[in-house]
Homo-oligomer: A and B are copies of this chain.
Amino acid sequence: MNLILLFENDVISRDVVRLQGRRREHMLQVLKATAGDQVLVGMLNGLVGKGTITDITADTLTMELRLDRQPPAPLPVTLVLALPRPKMLKRVLFAASSMGVKRLYLINSFRVEKSFWKSPLLSVERMHEYLLLGLEQAKDTVVPEVLLRPQFRPFVEDELPAIMEDSPAFVAHPGAEEPCPRDMKRYVILAIGPEGGFISYEIGKLASIGFIPVSLGERPLRVETSVPALLARIF
């Protein structure tokens, strides 16, 4: 936790918040904070700044805020990801959130196991847990939007072209001839397949609306490795 994320209902009066639970514990036990100390804080979807601890009781911690900076710039990307298995999804949500992804579609693919769509992790509340941990890691406040699209073809045919607008679109495909581009200075749409990759039909569908298959090399990577690798290569 490199930033303490604050919520509307922490606010008890103008520029004053009162915290309980996990964040209070973290400040006392990990940061060893005491009254008078300042910590980096940020208001959910809002500004970043300093919180000065004014009071600590047996179960609360009160801070005065001075929020005066914008959070770090988002990555100019929409990520389109074949739904990973739940254990991987947690890490991918964390990693994508910490790297500044703000829009993420989780889509179906032939190689996505049907059971993954029934995971309780796919509730907004559960996904927010990992997204918010990623924001706290990266000193960010802006919650990524995660959209579930359990049908591949209607999504690609009817919705994805409008999402793409005029942005370049790439689909990561181990063995593609085109190397993954570097240092793009513009908004990009990036699709990443499931373990084992998108099947030919799916690559064909994506190519038909303008996606370019690109590769990071001949090594197939796990999705939790390829998400940070592709984002760091492209931006």
Contact = CB atoms under 8 A, between A and B. Distances in A.
Interface of A: 2, 72, 91, 94-95, 98-100, 137-140, 182-183, 216-222, 224-226, 228-233
Contacts of A221: 98-99, 137-138, 228
Contacts of A139: 218-220
This protein's copies in its complex: 2
B137 A217 contact: no
The 4 residue pairs across chains A and B that have the minimum distance between CB atoms: A229-B232, A138-B219, A228-B229, A232-B233
Specify which of A139, A217, A229 lies most central, judged by the most chain B CB atoms within 10 Å of its CB: A229
A225 B230 CA distance: 11
A88 B230 CA distance: 20
Contacts of A220: 2, 137-139
Nearest to A222: B137
Contact of A228 (B72, B183, B228): B228
Contact of A219 (B72, B91, B182, B183): B72
A133 to B, nearest CB: 10
A220 B72 CA distance: 11
Given A182-B183, A225-B228, A99 B138 contact: no
Nearest to A183: B182
A204 B230 CA distance: 31
A140 B225 contact: no
A147 to B, nearest CB: 22
Contacts of A98: 219, 221-222, 225
Contacts of A231: 229
Contacts of A95: 222, 224-225
A227 to B, nearest CB: 8
Contacts of A72: 217-219
